[in-house]
Amino acid sequence: MPTTIDATDLFLEAGVLFAPGKAANAGGVATSGLEMAQNAARLGWKAEKVDARLHHIMLDIHHACVEYGGEASQTNYVRGRISPGS
């Protein structure tokens, strides 16, 4: 969700779960990547296979955000999105 830096700070101070664009848009970007992989290999994956791969990708992103953006009671996705390798 696009916000100003001040608005982001207000969300975080209020304990509102805030996913910056990089995290929030990751599913769409990952799906595009999976489609490109299918096309490059001239394959047609079943929806279940695409969903399973996307689920795995999104779990990896979430786990990285928890690892690098974890705080006492919640995950700071703003800090977690800048994890190494992101």
State the pTM of this model: 0.69
| CA neighbor of 77 nearest in space, from 65, 59, 63, 86 | 65
Q: Which two tokens stand for residue 56?
A: 């795995």
Crossing angle for the helix pair 26-40 and 47-69, to the nearest 10 degrees: 140
Cα R_g (the chain), whole angstroms: 15
What is the pLDDT at residue 3?
84
10 within 8 A of 33, measured Cβ to Cβ: no
- What is the domain partition of the chain in residue ranges? 5-80
pLDDT in tens, 3-59: 888 988 898 888 887 777 777 788 899 999 999 999 999 998 999 999 999 999 989
Looking at the chain, how many residues does it have? 86
pLDDT in tens, 25-38: 888 999 999 999 99
